[in-house]
């Protein structure tokens, strides 16, 4: 099983799917029904980490900016961005909790 999984989500309509085309279809249905384009680009990418087979949301990012352009240029770049920022965050938080491996103050020169 993969360590990370990605799903697309629209907060306004409350719909999530690993397939972006399904999310877009559901948004299009709502746009047609309510005659509003305001929700057209309301799609987030959620990144889940599998911990013992249980997915846990670890990071999220909007796909589109206010002008309707992909924020990171492509979905793959957004996935890469989320993965790298999560790894950075995870490594940083682990380094804060680990005991220091540097030399003791009495032996260090300043």
Using the predicted structure, report yes or no on whether residue 100 has a pLDDT greater than 60. no
- Predicted pLDDT at 31: 85
- Predicted pLDDT at 71: 93
**Span 53-97, pLDDT tens digits:** 898 999 999 999 888 899 999 999 999 999 999 888 888 876 654
- To the question of pTM greater than 0.85 for the whole model, the response is no
Domain count, the chain: 1
Let me know if residue 109 belongs to a domain.
Answer: no
Lowest mean pLDDT among 23-32, 49-58, 99-108: 99-108
Let me know if residue 71 belongs to a domain.
Answer: yes
Let me know if residue 8 belongs to a domain.
Answer: yes
Q: To the nearest 10°, report the CA torsion of 37, 39, 41, 47.
A: -170
- Predicted pLDDT at 76: 95
Let me know if residue 103 belongs to a domain.
Answer: no
Q: What is the residue range of 85's domain? A: 4-97
Let me know if residue 55 belongs to a domain.
Answer: yes
Let me know if residue 18 belongs to a domain.
Answer: yes
Let me know if residue 107 belongs to a domain.
Answer: no
């Amino acid at each position: 099983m993969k360590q990370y999984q990605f799903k697309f989500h629209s907060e306004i309509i409350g719909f999530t799917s690993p397939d972006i085309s399904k999310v877009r279809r559901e948004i299009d249905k709502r746009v047609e029904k309510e005659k509003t384009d305001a929700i057209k680009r309301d799609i987030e990418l959620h990144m889940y980490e599998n911990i013992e087979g249980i997915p846990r949301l670890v990071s999220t990012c909007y796909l589109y900016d206010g002008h309707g352009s992909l924020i990171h240029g492509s979905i793959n770049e957004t996935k890469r961005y989320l993965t790298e920022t999560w790894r950075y965050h995870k490594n940083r938080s682990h380094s804060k909790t680990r005991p220091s491996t540097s030399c003791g103050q009495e032996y260090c020169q300043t």
